[in-house]
Structure 1
Amino acid sequence: MTDEILLERAQAESLAMRACLAAGAGEATARSLVDATLSAMLYGPAALGLPHMVDYLDSFREGRINCDPVPSCERPYPAFFVADADGGIAQLGFDLAFDQLVEAARTFGVAIFTQTNSYTAGELGYYVRRLAGEGIVGLAATNANAMVVAKAGGPAVYSTNPMAFAFPLGEGSLPVVIDQASSATAYVNIVAAAAEGRSIPEGWAVDEAGKDTQDAAKALGGALLPFGGRKGANVALMVEMLSAGLSGGPWSLDTPSFREGSASPAVGLTVVAMMPGRTDGGLIERARRQAGRLQERGVFVPGVSGIDHPRPASEMLKVPRSVFEAVTRVAGA
């Protein structure tokens, strides 16, 4: 028996929708989450596709996510959107404001969307990838509950505090998408390693006593380390200010866990949308040529390298068997 299941895209979408609805999510919430999940499965880290959806399904059923929220959005400045996700998923609030955000960016050259009171943002690359699809440069930042120490032996003070960036490369090309945590690795990678009984590299995490560990299970009881020591911790602080600071959401120190309990994490998300120069500037084509030059020199260009485009309609998506079985149980199929 293989450890992976192959699903057609339509099968994955149908399974994810049925699971979300069966877990109690409303139609609009389910649609937004499934769209973001499929985006991660096709273009993002595999762990943030269906595997991360299991966290959402558990949270729908255990009360950490408002299954049928009514997000609100105010516009205190012409190009500044302030949203409240009403305890729902971050993707829904963003999706509802998306058209206005794009219009504002095209009108003013730059626009900002900031949101609080949501569940974890999921794959952060989803938000900037959507903007790149409209020919717009995007920058996003978010936080969650504290699980990263500023230095080994210290207390957990930050979340993995990821930041994502996307630059469109024009029609017929995938955009550059950089999506990475401020920690040495993403939390979902620790969870996956612990579930599979794999060790983790030195420098990723510490155990409960604050000592470096390569045991993923002990890392879950301890904390993650920032990448690059103090420099990574500074990036985590910057992301914290952009997400929790700008949105008014809770700091990671005050944020409930997104995997246990019944309280919403209620975290922040900030997305900055920027036009790539003047409409006649040719900067997208210039960036496209630069990405090509880098690839010719053996450079890995995130979001582009190793990803087929366009994706074949008959492409099969790989899903870990344990994840497929967990989602299928919730879907009742």
Structure 2
Amino acid sequence: MRISSIEERSFLEKVLKQYKFSDEDSQLLADTLVDADLRGISSHGIQRIAWYTRMIKEGTIVPTNKIKVLRETPTSLLIDANQNMGQIASSYAMDHLIDKAKQVGIAAAVIRNSNHFGTAGYYARKAVKEGLIGIATTNTRPLVVPTNALDAFLGSNAFAFTFPAEPHPFVFDGATSIVSSGKIQVLAKKGEPIPGDWAVDKDRTVDHDAKRVEDNLSKVAFTEEQPGGGVLTLGGNREENSNYKGMGNSIIIELLTGILAQGSISADTNTGKHDFSQFLLTINPNLFGDPEIFKKSATKMFDRIRALKHLPNKDIKIPGDREYKNYAGNLKQGVFIDDETVKELKSVGDEVGVEAPKSIDSTKES
């Protein structure tokens, strides 16, 4: 069904407040999930709330904990998220990096002892709204099978990069693996097969059964069990298709997050502390010249790419095109929620006495 983003936001804020998040933190967390749904990134939208509430009950997330700034210089921040949500520490960090980059040109933050932080693009877009280049990354649970390996070790390790342009900024936001686990989770809920060669079983044989893959990933990511298999790196299943380059991308994010934060690498986040780490960077283009010239040059390049000869009935999309189009459309017609997530929302709401969102159609009928 479809629900209005206004009703989605209200539901999420009420639920999160019941779980002892502050009013400000509840609004921020709700905004990150609604923003993802509006942009068509349903894997990181409201369907995550059931997972968040489970982690709160397990003690992995502690909503009342406050973040701590451990070290700060004019160009850097080291933050302890203190077992609270990654959105809270990352939003704080990016807001301060924006101020620093405006003053000194470039600034970076590392966050330790964190949790899931939503979409990486949420923070990179904060920077580009201020005319800056933004980068945001995170490590995750162990989900990704390195080149020639049989067991998951690396995270899906999201990477987002933004650059000023017209009619909207360039926004690349994606996993450094072939796909995020959330997309497989959504397919499993819908009862749909995996359309591409995204995941393998314990023998490194490609598996298109989303439910079976999701069940396996849950064992890999949330227990100490190693059943084998997982998500593939960029480049797919074969070394001949350069999947070692995809592995390299994922390792770079591990170095910038878990290693720099002196926290857990993805392979160890399903044991012990269950901690994620994040890395954020802002760059002021005026370090290198006139920001308006860079913006116009980037826009011209993107327009040339869009205008290239292309396959029949296919468009050439620059990263960000689809998301900004989705945002405008979903704001008007509401965001789509699959049937399984609808059931989860009712269960989550019932537990804390919050009414689940209603379908836009049923709202009109009533």
Whether TM-score is above 0.5 comes out as yes
Which residue is equivalent to 2:312? none
> How far off its partner does 1:244 sit?
1.2
Asked whether the equivalents of residues 138 and 158 of structure 2 are also in contact (C-alpha less than 8 Å), the reply is yes
1:283 aligns with 2:294: yes
Gaps of 5+ in 1: 258-262
CA distance in 1, matches of 2:121, 2:158: 10
Contact 1:142 1:239 in 2 (8 A): yes
Paired letter, 2:300: R
- Structure-1 residue corresponding to 2:168: 174
**Which whole-Å CA distance do the structure 2 matches of 1:196 and 1:242 have between them?**
35
Is the Cα contact below 8 Å between 1:175 and 1:303 reproduced in 2?
yes
Letter in 2 for 1:323: T
Instruction: Map 1:191-202 onto structure 2 (within 5 A).
Output: 191-201=185-195
Q: Give 1:288-327 correspondences, 5 Å limit.
A: 288-297=299-308, 298-305=315-322, 307-308=324-325, 311=328, 314-327=332-345
Rg bigger for which structure?
A: 2
* 1:315 to partner: Cα distance: 4.1
- Separation in structure 2 between the aligned mates of residue 59 and residue 107 of structure 1, nearest angstrom: 39
CA shift for structure 1 position 62: 2.7
Map of 1:232 onto structure 2: 246
TM-superposed CA distance for 1:302, in Å, is 1.5
Secondary structure in 2 matching 1:250? coil
Q: CA RMSD in A?
A: 2.3
Q: Distance in 2 between matches of 1:166 and 1:144?
A: 21
> Which of 72, 81, 85 is the matching residue for 1:85?
81
Which moves more between the two structures, 6-15 or 192-201?
A: 192-201
User: Which 10-residue stretch deviates more, 10-19 or 192-201?
Assistant: 192-201
Name the structure 2 match of 1:245. 259
Q: Could you tell me how far 1:54 is from its partner in structure 2? A: 2.6
TM-score, normalization by structure 2? 0.81
Aligned residue for 2:180?
Answer: 186
What CA distance in whole angstroms lies between the structure 1 residues aligned with 2:246 and 2:93?
Answer: 31
SS of residue matched to 1:270: strand
- The range that moved more, 79-88 or 292-301, is 292-301
**Pair 1:189–1:84, CA change in 2 (3 A):** same
Q: For the structure 1 residues 243 and 302, does the alpha-carbon distance in structure 2 shift closer, same or farther, using more than 3 Å as the test?
A: same
Equivalent position of 2:364 in the other structure: none
Unaligned runs of 5+ in 2: 217-228, 236-242, 309-314, 356-366
Tell me if 1:272 matches 2:281: yes
- Name the stretch that deviates more: 264-273 or 70-79: 70-79
Aligned to 2:138: 142
What is the CA distance between 1:97 and its match in structure 2? Answer: 3.2
Shift of residue 42 of structure 1?
Answer: 2.1
1:255 maps to 2:269: yes
Residue 330 (structure 1) shift: 1.9
> What amino acid is aligned across from residue 306 of structure 2 in structure 1?
Q
Report sequence identity in percent: 24
- What SS class does the counterpart of residue 282 from structure 1 fall into? helix
Greater helix share, structure number: 2
Give the whole-Å Cα distance in 2 for the aligned partners of 1:225 and 1:189: 13
Q: Could you tell me how far 1:71 is from its partner in structure 2?
A: 0.1
Q: Following the alignment from structure 1 to structure 2, what is the Cα–Cα distance between the partners of residues 185 and 15?
A: 29
Q: Does the CA contact (< 8 Å) of 2:133 and 2:164 recur in 1?
A: yes
Residue aligning to 1:205: 199
Shift in Å, 1:103: 1.1
TM-score with structure 1 setting the length: 0.88
